[in-house]
A and B are shown apart, each in its own frame.
Chain A
Amino acid sequence: MSKGTLILYCAIAGALAIAPLVLGEGGLRFATECLLILSMAQMWNLLAGYAGLVSFGHQVFIGLGAYSLFLISDTFGISPYWVLPAAPLAGALVSAVIALPLFRLREAYFSIAMWVFAEIVAALVMKTSWLGGTAGLPLKSSQLLDVDWLEPVMFWIAAVLAMGSIGGLYLLMRSSFGLGLMSVRDNDLAAMSVGVDVQKNRFIVFVLSAAGCGLAGAVSFLGNLYISPLAAFDVNWVVYMMFIVMIGGIGTLEGPVIGTIIFFGLRELMTSQLGLSGGWYLVALGTIGVAVMLLSPRGLWPPLRDRFGLQLLAVGRKAPSPLAPTALTEKAGSLG
């Protein structure tokens, strides 16, 4: 990370820390939602952009994380904040188990099988009466929460999650593990030949992204104090994550940030300013996504970066420089 980026990162973190003092209640809720969706998009991006696995079923981890928080907190009467760590664990556990059958499938088949899995879990939750069935569950342990502090605390958690996911992914991608991942993405045959364990890498990334989505989902529904299976396992979660990543730039850390800004900017413009329904908003978002895919398949960030020479969170590395060509010719001359 360059010095400038580090300063920018710290400045944003500082601004987020004091934001609840400045923003009103509505603004705070909106900002929390933005940060949570950004975190989810980064998790989806980690899986799709760095491991080449497109999941159409990531809503299952959001739902599972949220349900595990509600259940554990209500059953044991523990404050929901203390139960938060259970949410990523639930996501990680379930993803580790289903990776077994799903990893036999490649590309589109993985994507849709993941979707089928999400549908199965959603249908089972809806049929289970102690999970509230189709009606859902209220968060009974919400009486343990200080209502005045709920909004700011939710915001801070979301901010830590979003900044943590960006910073954490940056460090991950700069590590040798990240280098292995990107080498698989760019040329899996070459990566395998130098000893990168492709399946293991994919597995780790899958579990990580499921855990991240579980946590983000739990925080998201904790803010609502209520959960229903239709909302928790809504396929639109994945639609949002995917469009944000697709528009911003898949396989870059900056892309989802741009995508999130466009996503919420467009939503505010269409639903609040123009008063259009959510359906038209999704039509517009989808049209932009398709147009970006056709005109700039790598998303908006890479062309912007190349055009203006921006380097914010670049995780690529320079190959070690080979011997200078003049030295080689001299050597050749002395030999021959």
Chain B
Amino acid sequence: MAWLETLVNGALLGGLYGLLGIGLALVFGVMRVVNIAHGEFMVLAAYFAVMLVSLFPHVHPLFVLLPVVLAAFAVGYLYQAAIVNRVVRAPDPLAPLLLTFGVSIVLRNLMVEVFGADVRALPLGELSRASINLFGLRIGVMPLLTLVASVLLFLLLQWGLKRTRFGRVVRATADRRDIVRLFGIKPDRVYNIVMGLSLALGAIGGVLLAVRSSFTPFSGVERLLIAFEVVVLGGLGSFWGALLGGIVLGMAQLAGLKWDPNAGLLYGHLLFFVMLLIRPAGLAANRA
């Protein structure tokens, strides 16, 4: 029973991991750029949330999510407009990789200098301890809410990309950035919005993860690696694959931690590597 509880909790955590991955996957899918600084932006959002909570102690911590997400969108828009757009068109595919890596180093060390290297957390009071009893399993309310929120966001994003005009524009830009210009669309502006959305999703993930466990300026690395593993496990470019990948990764991590309490992310990483060997196309891929 204890193991079942671990697996269920792992699946709940996995919903959150899926959310980390989807932001990374969105940017990669649209502009073929892996934003190495994604993890650092998540941690930055968490610091912003902690700051807001201490500034407005009477507001419920979950309400700070709104300003944090809006700020993350703005930061993403500017980041893309000022920096990433300059290398997206570079013939060398390494340029965006090196550039975003450089940005991640700058952000990480700025956070160390500004916020200090201490461990921080986002306390939620009652809610973070509350749990419900489901068929004899103790399930935390907050992890459950997190999973529900992740699934809703996945649905919303998928609907937005499939059914709205903006979604069509994004997909068209992803396919042929040179052709969409003929229809009066500026690809750079589409990219700005996509990066904004990506960091907004990352901010939700970053804040919710900060509620679950403490963080430091160095947490960006593990957040990025989780996001990346989720995307590869799920199969590149597959939305629901990312959620599935997140759930598998979450289960592996919590099961590993139960067996070996100071393992950290080791078992998640190992699972990723084994999967890379036996199913390089990802979990969700049914074609060879």
The chain A residues found within 8 Å of chain B, CB to CB, are 48, 52, 54, 56, 101, 104-105, 107-109, 111-113, 115-117, 119-120, 123-124, 127, 235, 239, 242-243, 246, 250, 277, 279-280, 282-283, 285-287, 289-290, 293-294, 297
For this complex, 24 residue pairs linking A to B, each with C-beta atoms less than 8 Å apart, are A101-B280, A107-B34, A107-B93, A108-B34, A108-B93, A112-B34, A112-B224, A115-B225, A120-B266, A123-B263, A123-B266, A124-B266, A235-B221, A243-B105, A279-B113, A282-B108, A282-B109, A283-B109, A283-B113, A286-B103, A289-B102, A289-B105, A293-B99, A294-B86
Given A116-B229, A277-B113, A279-B113, are A111 and B97 also a contact pair (CB < 8 Å)?
yes
B90 touching A297 by the CB < 8 A rule?
Answer: yes
B180 within 8 A of A: no
Closest Cβ of chain A to B58, distance in Å, is 34
The chain B residues found within 8 Å of chain A, CB to CB, are 28, 34, 36, 83, 86-87, 90, 92-95, 97-99, 101-103, 105-106, 108-110, 112-113, 221, 224-225, 228-229, 232, 236, 260, 262-266, 269-270, 272-273, 276-277, 280
Please classify the interface of chain A as helix (H, G, I), strand (E, B), loop, or mixed, using the class held by over half of its residues: helix
A52→B93 CA distance, assembly (Å) = 9
B98 touching A242 by the CB < 8 A rule?
Answer: yes
Closest Cβ of chain B to A258, distance in Å, is 17
Given A107-B97, A115-B225, A283-B113, are A123 and B102 also a contact pair (CB < 8 Å)?
no
**Residues in A whose Cβ lies below 8 Å from that of B266:** 120, 123-124, 127
Query: Quick one: which of B102, B108, B221, B264 contacts A290, CB cutoff 8 A?
Result: B102
Q: Please, which residue of chain A has its CB at the minimum distance from the CB of B236?
A: A109
Given A294-B87, A297-B87, are A117 and B273 also a contact pair (CB < 8 Å)?
yes
A52→B105 CA distance, assembly (Å) = 22
A246 touching B98 by the CB < 8 A rule?
Answer: yes
**Residues in B whose Cβ lies below 8 Å from that of A101:** 273, 276-277, 280
Query: Quick one: which of B94, B102, B109 contacts A48, CB cutoff 8 A?
Result: B94
Given A108-B97, A123-B264, are A290 and B229 also a contact pair (CB < 8 Å)?
no
Closest Cβ of chain A to B9, distance in Å, is 22
A287→B266 CA distance, assembly (Å) = 32
Closest Cβ of chain A to B28, distance in Å, is 8
A73→B90 CA distance, assembly (Å) = 48
